[in-house]
Amino acid sequence: MTRERSPLHPDPATKADMAAILGGRRMRRNRRTDWSRRMVRENTLTVDDLIWPIFIVAGSDLAEPVASMPGVERHSVDRAVKQAERAARLGIPAIALFPYTDPARRDESGSEALNPENLVCAACRAIKAAVPEVGLVTDVALDPYTSHGHDGLLAGEEIVNDATVDVLVLQALLQAEAGADIIAPSDMMDGRVGAIRQALDAKGFTNVQIMSYAAKYASAFYGPFRDAIGTSKTLIGDKRTYQMDPANGDEALREAELDVAEGADMIMVKPGMPYLDVLWRLKEAFGLPTFAYQVSGEYAMIQAAARNNWIDGERAMLESLTGFKRAGADGILTYFAPAVAEILKR
């Protein structure tokens, strides 16, 4: 009578067969211990990879919670200086500034964008005076300033391109004068990178860098951000005539190629996790410093799931950011920046 072999207890012949199949190659050996996993790790997240987006609001000693972004606040300029000082202590290289503009200051043309005393310009001057070693990234677009919530000038139902670029150039110059280190046009108007570069150079701002939102998609993941800057209730229609179709990847290569030719120093993909393939393709194609924006919706999803104990929030946060590095990102704009920096210091 032949005894049946148990699949849980293979006999020596089966073990020999397995050894022959593997040919001595056992991938799990390198994963067995913590020191070994660290030694063979292909990608490493460091504090140098982080850019911290901060929201600015008018007032003094204010920190207003953003309901749809747990843990994120709008800061008055004096409090924003404190956040910049915190960034310096944590070793975060740069912060990105986004304003919540009082609705009374918004109009059809976004004229507040050209006010030298607007929130972004005031924050730039205050932060540079207090913490000059922290890089400042400023957003060039009109949506925080327009009554209709669009990134450009509205003529009827059309966002007009060339007239918008003229305004964006003036906005960029004001920000550079206020102390911005990196101008980051997020509007997706054609030709704006070249026009901004020409204007900056003509005015002597040859060292001011441009980080182009080269591939910015018309995404559903921006909702909490629009709450934070106050445009979720003012936006008329949508932004699909100038932001990219989420179905397109080849188009991102063409967009980035134009921005690089026009003088972009760095390029960005936004949102992040749904577009890791695009991030990889841009990095491979151009070899330029390439960034990803882990947008508000990505942040809010991780936070919501963590607060409901559905996931381990800290591990999910670090895993998501490591994924950007694996896909080729040189850096990540993330609202998790201070929390991650604290963990890395640990």
- Helix, strand, coil share of the chain (percent; to 5): 45, 20, 35
Query: Would you say the C-alpha torsion 98, 100, 104, 106 has a positive or negative sign?
Result: positive
Q: 115 Cβ partners below 8 Å, 6+ apart?
A: 121
Query: What CA–CA distance (Å, rounded) separates 225 from 166?
Result: 26
Euclidean distance between CA atoms 293 and 270, whole angstroms: 5
Out of 15, 203, 239, 270, the active site residue is: 270
Locate 7 and state its tokens: 């699949």
Residue 52 parent element (H or E) = strand 50-57
DSSP secondary structure code for residue 116 in this structure: T
**Token reading at 271:** 């949102």
Nearest-angstrom CA–CA distance, 62 and 219: 30
CB 330 within 8 A of CB 286: no
Q: In degrees rounded to 5, what are phi and psi of residue 2?
A: -95, 125
According to DSSP, the β-strands at 63-65 and 73-75 are antiparallel
Handedness of CA 270, 274, 278, 280 (dihedral sign): positive
For 171, what's the count of Cα atoms within 13 Å in the CB-facing half-sphere? 31
Q: Does residue 270 have an active-site annotation?
A: yes
Name the catalytic one among 15, 128, 203, 216: 216
Provide DSSP, 272-300: SGGGHHHHHHHHHHH-S-EEEEE-HHHHH
Is residue 153 within 8 A of residue 113, CB to CB? The reply is no
Residues acting as catalytic residues? 216, 270
